[in-house]
Amino acid sequence: MLVIKRKETESILIGDDIEIIVSEISLGKVKICINAPKDVKIYRKELIETSDFNKTASEKINQDSIKNLNIKLRNHKINL
């Protein structure tokens, strides 16, 4: 991991076409601006982590629900 100190309005370059600019520093938060080509996907890490967690939880719930439904159907006798 590379650690770089920057002041307000200073920037770093990633490759030839991505620029990260420190826009504002206040109250323990840093506001950054990202200049990148439109085809470069930029995500907040916590959103990806939350999405992955929700997907895993949803798959687990679905698997458990299917197992429980199968058990109930096997134990249930249909009277016609």
Higher pLDDT, 73 or 27: 27
pLDDT value for 30:
94
Which pTM value belongs to this model?
0.59
From CA 45, how far away is CA 52, in angstroms rounded?
Answer: 11
pLDDT value of residue 36: 97
What is the per-residue pLDDT for 39?
96
**Tens digits of residue pLDDT in 30-57:** 999 999 999 999 998 888 888 777 777 7
> If you count DSSP H runs as helices and E runs as strands, how many of each does the chain have, helices first?
1, 3
| DSSP helix/strand/coil, 20 | strand
State what percent of residues in the chain have pLDDT above 90: 50
SS3 content of the chain, % helix, strand, coil (to 5): 40, 25, 35
